[in-house]
Amino acid sequence: MPELIMDYFRPGSLPHMWCPGCGTGIVLQSFLRTVQRMGLSRDEVVVVGGIGCSARAVSYIDFNTVHTTHGRALAFATGIKLARPDLLVFVLMGDGDASAIGGNHLIHAARRNMDLNVLVINNSVYGMTGGQCSPLTPAGSKTATSPYGSMERQLNLTGLAEAAGATFVARSTAYHSRLTSDLIEQGIANKGFSFIEVISQCPTGFGRKNKMADPAAMLQWQKQSALPAEKFIDLPPGDAKGKFPIGVLYKNQAPDFMEMYLGMSSRAGCDNDNRGKGNE
Amino acid sequence: MNERVEIILSGSGGQGMILAGIILADAAIREGKSVVQSQSYGPEARGGASRAEVIIGGEELDYPKISNPDILLAMSQQASDKFLHRVKKGGLVILDSSYVADFPRPDGVRLYSIPISDTARDGLGKEMMANMVALGALIQVSGVIGRDNVQKAVEERVPSGSLEKNILALELGRKLAKNSDIL
Amino acid sequence: MARVVPMARLMQGNEAVAEAAVSAGVMFYAGYPITPSTEIAEHMAKRLPPLGGIFIQMEDEISSIAAVIGASLGGMKAITATSGPGFSLMQENIGYAVMAEVPCVIVNVMRLGPSTGMPTAPGQGDVMQARWGTHGDHPVIALCPSSVTEAHDLTVKAVNLAEKFRTPVILLLDEVVAHLRERIVIPSRENMEIVERKKIPEENGSFLPYRPEAGGVPAIPDIGRGFRFNVTGLVHDQRGIPSNDPGVAADLISRLLGKVNNNAGEIYTSDGYMLEDAEIVVVAYGSVARSARRAVKEARAEGIPAGMWRPVSLWPFPAGEIRELSRRVRCIIVAEMNAGQLAGEVERHAGGCPVVSLGKVSGELISPLEIFRRIKEVFS
């Protein structure tokens, strides 16, 4: 970790703002390990974040970073990717960011198969504002805005991404940090919309209210509840309760937006070898 | 600056009044005149009231709308009821007698009542061409724009597949008007 | 390509905006269809792909402006167009573009509001939304054309100002101007002044992306060009790193305001008609200015010394000209298709000179007769 900080954190960005026991730093480490392992040039990587605890990571790390507005990271990233298709664009969002205020952009970025690498850090709550419930808060959980237990059903975000047209959909947890790194690498290899949900822990905003104040206990819960996708499929229906699959959940081959756009524009008469060099 | 001539082309949605207005405006530019064209229609694409306004000549940055037209084309009863009484003294009115049966005869207005839509339907097999028949009639009796420039504008703005028929419609309209008398 | 000889053409206001944007070097459009601005999107959808530009229809207006900002960060000149309801949705991200200093142009074709209002009817009710639509203190540039030719020229100017001052610029058309077709002679590109974004020569270790240069505008590099910096809507220091320091906040907000307000002389544009000896001045903008001009002419024909003043840059508002006028005229009439939005601003700068608001909120263009009657009333 120290060498990762030396190499990839902006000088002076520590101390960070995350609470002790928070999972965001672990997920960030998985991301940076992938970057390091793959030898990606920092100049060619863009990290776009929304608003929330997880998105704050973008200010700390030494890439081209864009910290946008709440829910809109994917729309900003769409513009960036279209202007600079040569750059590798990551989008870092929290669960509220990606599934509530930004849900519509998630659907349409996936539908377009934009060549973006999305990482949703799902800690079950709005952490930055003090632990309110989100569409990914498990039903029955207590949060600052569901003091008697959340009665709403939880959104299946990976299912949504798949249905909307994402060509790579995966899930990991903060505990499974090596798996997260591997999945990020596979997502990069997919030319198209790659969506990874990482289940993380918020001991301050979620754990304390739900009898899991100890971050280690929350990691333990992640370890025990997660099953590799291929094993999860074979579980008898009764045994699946309280478990969730991790690993690659869905993969498909489809042309990404830019490929389709180049096809359309060349039909419209564009000399794509000289694209973007001005008009007339 | 040249004299300002205000023209209202009115009818129902689908009768092609706006295209006729655009062609007239385009033709005026080909004659080196300044022109302002605007339109008004309901939210529906077909069937509601529809009108195009064309102002030829006049000063730049002048009021772009028409209160009292010099020339009125009315292709529906509703359009005639709405605009006929607004035509300026000394103005010109062309009514499509295929649809406008009931109209007053204002003093000091040259008024033609000619079967525009019937002519398009019977002579060309397409009532859709009524706007071009009307345009032909309008340039014939008003002399506001030369025929050649209108034809050039039509060539530019009408799909090539139906160009010949549109030109024919213009000619039919001119002949129809030539053989009609002021009421 | 054959040399294009400028010639007179018939063109619609919305189409002129799209053509001008392309001439000004805009190669990115993101938008969402909305009456009465849709022709701009349709025209860009046709024009950009063959030129190698990007047209994308987004899922809403929020994402449209976000994509525009993203593309501009990536180095493309970018534009979007909308109308009242969509303009409301864009406000948060317009503030982001102000804060992060991202050049972009937002065309707002004004229709009668509030809410869905009358989608096909003209209005000028977004004058104050253009000024104060996004939260917090922020600079704004808003330009308002009265003709198709001016819609073209002001679009080029809007793109230029956005690039020069690194701030969003709003082009406020009203439905009348947007849908008007007029004779226009488009100058060749060589005869247009086109401003290009300031480029950073070479990488420099001590480089600070948000350090202001002369005039208060920083030369921020496009992303992905070897300068790895942070872009954020949070208060930030000159590195782009978020800060909670009150001094950093005050410096930043003051500089953002100052870079427009202190350079307002370059932005102000206005037009006068028969002002020399005028005793009664009609203030009007957009299509209403055309009614006002006619009304003034008619008043003059009756021997009433009327004149017209037309702000073309609504924001920053050319207040000095109103101050000067108010010292030598008897009365100012502000005619606008709203309930008096600019009248309040005029009054603020008119000293003791009486300001009469002639507002109209029926979705119709104010007629010359309505203005003429008010001139007569005020005169006697």
Please provide the DSSP assignment of C30-96 as one string.
EE---TTTHHHHHHHHHHHHHHT-EEEE-SSHHHHHHHHHHHHHTT-EEEEEEEHHHHHHHHHHHHH
Task: Tell me the chain C residues in contact with residue A280 when contact means C-beta distances shorter than 8 Å.
Answer: 1, 51, 189
Note whether B6 and B68 are within 8 A (CB).
Answer: yes
- Going by C-alpha positions, the residue among A131, A138, A140, A74 that lies closest to residue A101 is A74
Interface of A with C in 112-141 (CB under 8 A): none
**Integer Cα distance of B53 and B7 in angstroms:** 6
**Integer Cα distance of A239 and C205 in angstroms:** 58
Interface of A with C in 210-239 (CB under 8 A): none
Give the pLDDT score at C1.
Answer: 42
Give the pLDDT score at B42.
Answer: 62
Paired residues of C282 in beta bridges: C308, C333
User: Is some CB atom of chain B closer than 8 A to the CB atom of C176?
Assistant: yes
Q: Which residues of A127-166 are buried (b: 16+ CB within 10 A; e: fewer)?
A: bbeebbbbbbbeeebbbeebeeebeeebbebbebbbebbb
ipTM for this prediction: 0.96
C-alpha gyration radius of chain C:
21
CATH topology of domain B5-178: Pyruvate-ferredoxin Oxidoreductase; domain 3 (3.40.920)
**Integer Cα distance of A66 and A85 in angstroms:** 16
Measured between CA atoms, how close is A216 to chain C, in angstroms?
31
Note whether B74 and B83 are within 8 A (CB).
Answer: yes
- Per the CB < 8 Å rule, is B35 touching C287? no
**Integer Cα distance of C78 and C169 in angstroms:** 11
**Integer Cα distance of B53 and B8 in angstroms:** 5
Residue A101: closest CA among chain C residues belongs to which residue? C62
User: Is some CB atom of chain A closer than 8 A to the CB atom of C71?
Assistant: yes
Q: Within chain B, what is the greatest distance between any pair of CA atoms?
A: 43
Q: Is the dihedral of CA A18, A24, A26, A32 positive or negative?
A: negative
Give the pLDDT score at A274.
Answer: 66
Note whether C102 and C95 are within 8 A (CB).
Answer: no
Beta-strand relationship, C181-185 and C8-12: antiparallel
Which pair of structure tokens corresponds to residue B92? Answer: 């010109």
Least CB-CB distance to C365: which of B22, B36, B65?
B65
**Integer Cα distance of C260 and C140 in angstroms:** 7
User: Which residue ranges in chain A fall short of pLDDT 50?
Assistant: 277-280
Residue with tokens 């954190």: A9
**Integer Cα distance of C60 and B163 in angstroms:** 39
Give the pLDDT score at C204.
Answer: 57
User: Is some CB atom of chain A closer than 8 A to the CB atom of C245?
Assistant: no
Give the C-alpha distances (Å, rounded to integers) separating A21 from A129, A213, B51, B91, B121.
17, 10, 69, 85, 81
Paired residues of B55 in beta bridges: B6, B36
pLDDT digits (tens, 9 = 90+) for C174-232: 999 999 999 999 999 889 999 999 877 665 567 899 999 988 999 999 999 999 999 99
Nearest 10 degrees: CA dihedral of B107, B109, B114, B116? -130
Note whether C228 and A65 are within 8 A (CB).
Answer: yes
- Per the CB < 8 Å rule, is A67 touching C226? no
The answer, yes or no, to whether residue B1 has pLDDT greater than 80, is: no
Note whether C326 and C301 are within 8 A (CB).
Answer: no
Task: Tell me the chain B residues in contact with residue C289 when contact means C-beta distances shorter than 8 Å.
Answer: 61
Least CB-CB distance to C294: which of B33, B60, B63?
B63
**Integer Cα distance of A18 and A54 in angstroms:** 9
**Integer Cα distance of B47 and A74 in angstroms:** 42
Query: Whole-model pTM?
Result: 0.96
The answer, yes or no, to whether residue C89 has pLDDT greater than 60, is: yes
Q: Is B38 helix (H, G, I), strand (E, B) or coil?
A: strand
Span between the terminal Cα atoms of chain C, in Å: 62
Segment C141-146 shows an average pLDDT of: 98
pLDDT tier at C247 (50, 70, 90 boundaries)?
Answer: very high
pLDDT digits (tens, 9 = 90+) for B83-134: 999 999 999 999 999 999 999 999 999 999 999 999 999 999 999 999 999 9
Q: Is the dihedral of CA B154, B44, B46, C287 positive or negative?
A: negative
> What is the SS3 assignment for chain A?
CHHHHHHHECCCCCCCCCCCCCCHHHHHHHHHHHHHHHCCCHHHEEEEECCCCHHHHHHHECCEEEECCCCCHHHHHHHHHHHCCCCEEEEEEEHHHHHHHCHHHHHHHHHCCCCCEEEEEECCEECCCCCEECCCCCCCCCECCECCCCCCCCCCHHHHHHHHCCCEEEEEECCCHHHHHHHHHHHHHCCCCEEEEEECCCCCCCHHHHCCCCHHHHHHHHHHHEEEHHHHHHCCHHHHCCCEEEEEEEECCCCCHHHHHHHHHHHCCCCHHHCCCCCC
User: Is some CB atom of chain A closer than 8 A to the CB atom of C45?
Assistant: no
Domain locations in chain C? 8-191, 214-265, 272-379
Interface of C with B in 349-378 (CB under 8 A): 365, 367-369
Domain spanning A2-9+23-230+241-267 has what CATH number? 3.40.50.970
Could you tell me how many CB contacts below 8 A there are between chain B and chain C?
A: 59
Note whether C19 and C186 are within 8 A (CB).
Answer: yes
Measured between CA atoms, how close is A187 to chain C, in angstroms?
21
The answer, yes or no, to whether residue B43 has pLDDT greater than 80, is: no
CATH topology of domain C8-191: Rossmann fold (3.40.50)
pLDDT digits (tens, 9 = 90+) for B49-95: 899 999 999 998 999 999 999 999 999 999 999 999 999 999 999 99
Task: Tell me the chain A residues in contact with residue C68 when contact means C-beta distances shorter than 8 Å.
Answer: 79
Phi, psi of A24 (to 5 degrees): -60, -40
Note whether A156 and A114 are within 8 A (CB).
Answer: no
Give the pLDDT score at C5.
Answer: 56
Domain locations in chain B? 5-178
- Per the CB < 8 Å rule, is B62 touching C293? yes
Least CB-CB distance to A69: which of C30, C96, C230?
C96
* Residue-averaged pLDDT of chain B: 93
Give the pLDDT score at A12.
Answer: 86
Residues 6+ apart with CB under 8 A from C46: none
Beta-strand relationship, A64-67 and A45-49: parallel
Note whether C243 and C249 are within 8 A (CB).
Answer: yes
CATH 3.40.50.920 for the C272-379 domain, yes or no: yes
User: Is some CB atom of chain C closer than 8 A to the CB atom of A72?
Assistant: yes
Give the pLDDT score at A116.
Answer: 98
Phi, psi of C256 (to 5 degrees): -60, -45
- Going by C-alpha positions, the residue among C170, C144, C162, C132 that lies closest to residue C289 is C144
- Per the CB < 8 Å rule, is C50 touching A276? no
- DSSP summary character for residue C171: E
